[in-house]
A and B are shown apart, each in its own frame.
Chain A
Amino acid sequence: MKILVAEDEPILIRAIEMRLKRDGHEVWLAEDGQQALDKFEQEPPDLIITDIMMPYASGLEIIAAVRASPGPKVPVIILSAMGQEDVVLEAFRLGADDYITKPFSPNELSVRVRRLLTN
């Protein structure tokens, strides 16, 4: 499965990439919001994992853009250090499918990805 990961911290992005690759997924990387949106426009992936606080476009903007575009619904997982209730609620309201707060466990991420992709 093709997974787009938008995250600006290099250590994290590689950790997520390695974990997902080990699970057998194809991983696309984006270092900022604009890159993520560009890649999404080029070809929609099967799942998106994105942080909220990122340069150029916040994760919430990405969800909004993804939900607004035509085509099959792409599941979106938010991975963010901001765990406050109102931010989480807003993310779900905009259409996020799951919300993981940092610090997070790559194993847990892997399980949640699998769950969303099999649904």
Chain B
Amino acid sequence: MPGLRFLFAAMAGVLGMLLTLIGFILVYLLRRKRLDRLKDKWREIHGEVIQMAIVWEPAPGDSEPMPVPVSAARTLGSPVSRQCMIGDLIKGKKALSGAAADNLVCLYNRLELDRDSAKRLMSPKWHLQAQGIHELATMEQRGYVTRLYRFTNASNEMVRKEAQAAIVQLFGFEGLRFLDVIDTSLSEWQQIQLLQLLQHTTGAPQGSLQRWLHSSNATVRMFTLRLIAEHHLPEMAPHAADRLSDSIDGVRLQAIRCLRDLGATDSCGALTRVYPEEGLAGQLAILDAIGHIGTAAQLQFLQDQLNASEDRIKLEAARALVRLGEEGLICLERFPKIDRFPWNDVFRQVTCEWRL
């Protein structure tokens, strides 16, 4: 029967594939085990070298550069071993600062590991390119700036983002220049990453910030507002307040939070003015902001919000009142419906929170 022969042939095919796969798995596992054992051996030696570098200090009056032990150079014959070393150096560099970090960079340079990272930039595989970029940026290889900058326009999204982050890591606010030309959106993740990289940098360029606040790219506007908030630039408050009339919800939300974080008490007036047009999220954000930066002038406004139909508004308004101190609390207590549901629950909750 033809059907039968076909079936047997198919089964033979399947069994063949099965055995191949099983064979592949076993071979792969064996090879990886061997590699792991090698890596452990390397790690030990590299570990010693790295630890020495971390704690090395030049003797007073001594201008000798940091010595690099011969054992290190010996194990770095194979690219895999060098990759291991780079990985460990990166881990160390990320966790340490000061002299220890500088020594690690010095070690990286002396062992010429930047060549390996640079080689990765030329790989056709995008994840290797991105890795190379990441390594060069972490190890402060500013000499590669032109090559890295070219990648900020790469076709692969992940490579592009990594390159943008790399430039920022190397050059701080200067590196944010790409915000002027970027036409794709900055995802939340990328914004978080960039904010983190800029955490310890100073000297935010006011002119650029103002420009970015008017960028046609909504995510750039949002990012700029976050930047202003994180770096505590109260002189930018009026510009941030301008964004309260932005067309995009997310930008307005960010503007509200920015004003709150800047402690911009003057903007309370603007906040209460835009309040009626905002959606629920915006209104909650405004109430939260007023709770942090408001004054006695806003007490009446807050009390009025207790009459809102949406329970969350009532809650947030009550919270804000309590945050504003003794006067706010009295204002809340004096609210005529305070003994009725749901205001009694609201009252109990916010006072409970405050006590905690």
If over half of B's interface residues share one DSSP class (helix, strand or loop), that class is named, otherwise mixed; here it is: helix
Docked complex Cα distance between A14 and B50 (Å): 10
Docked complex Cα distance between A11 and B85 (Å): 12
Q: Mark B105-138, 1 if CB is under 8 A from A, else 0.
A: 0000000000000000000000000000000000
Residue of A nearest to B96 (CB): A103
**CB of B246 within 8 A of chain A?**
no
Residue pair A15, B99 in contact (C-beta under 8 Å)? no
**CB of B101 within 8 A of chain A?**
yes
**CB of B97 within 8 A of chain A?**
yes
A105 partner, pick from B51, B93, B97, beta carbons under 8 A: B97
Residue pair B95, A9 in contact (C-beta under 8 Å)? yes
**Max count, chain A CB within 10 A of own CB: residue among B91, B97, B101:** B97
**CB of A106 within 8 A of chain B?**
yes
Residue of B nearest to A83 (CB): B199
Q: What is the size, in residues, of chain B's interface with A at 8 Å between Cβ atoms?
A: 17
**CB of B220 within 8 A of chain A?**
no
Docked complex Cα distance between A9 and B98 (Å): 19
Residue pair A18, B100 in contact (C-beta under 8 Å)? no
Q: Mark B72-90, 1 if CB is under 8 A from A, else 0.
A: 0000000000000000100
Residue pair A104, B97 in contact (C-beta under 8 Å)? yes
Residue of A nearest to B43 (CB): A10
A-B contact pairs, 27 of them (CB 8 A): A9-B91, A9-B95, A11-B47, A11-B50, A11-B88, A11-B92, A11-B95, A14-B47, A14-B51, A15-B55, A15-B92, A18-B54, A19-B54, A19-B55, A103-B93, A103-B95, A103-B96, A104-B97, A104-B98, A105-B96, A105-B99, A105-B101, A106-B96, A106-B98, A106-B100, A107-B98, A108-B98
Q: Which 4 residue pairs are nearest across A and B when measured between Cβ atoms?
A: A105-B98, A103-B97, A15-B54, A11-B92
Q: Which residues of B contact A (CB under 8 A)?
A: 47, 50-51, 54-55, 88, 91-101
